[in-house]
Amino acid sequence: MEMELQFRVKQGYPIQDKAPDLQSLRYWGTFERKHGNLLCLLEVETQPEALEALVQYYDPPVRCFTFRDFQLAPTLEEYERLLGLPLAESAHYFHQDQPPS
C-alpha cells in the first residue's frame, strides 16, 4: 500500500509596514516627560455655544470670568483635577519680583 503525500504552498499576502520615525518618537517622549498628560486635553469634547457665551465675560488681565458682581476663576484644586497633577508634589513657581512669603 503506497501512500502519496501532496504538499500545497500557501499563497502569502503582502504586509505593509512602516518603520516609526525615531526623531518624532523622541520628541513626543520628551514632550510627555516635560508636560505630563497635557495631550489628553485634545480629546475633550467642547460645547461651542457655551464657549461663545463665556468668551464675552473673560477678562484677560485678571485671567478669570468677570460678571456684574462677581468673578469666576478655577481654584487650585480644580486645576489639580483638570491637569491630573498633584500640586503638593509639583515644583513651586515664584514670580521674579515676588519672593516667597
pLDDT in tens, 24-77: 778 888 888 888 877 777 777 878 888 888 888 888 887 788 888 888 877 777
Cβ(47)–Cβ(57) under 8 Å? no
Sheet holding 58-59, edge to edge: 58-59, 64-66, 71-72
Q: Which of 38, 41, 15 is nearest to 28 (CA)?
A: 38
Residues with Cβ within 8 Å of residue 82, at least 6 apart in sequence: 74
Q: Tell me, what's the pLDDT at 49?
A: 86
| Rounded distance between C-alpha atoms, residue 61 and residue 58, angstroms | 9
Which sequence spans correspond to the domains of the chain? 47-90
Query: Is residue 2 very low, low, confident or very high in pLDDT (cuts 50, 70, 90)?
Result: low
Q: Tell me, what's the pLDDT at 101?
A: 58
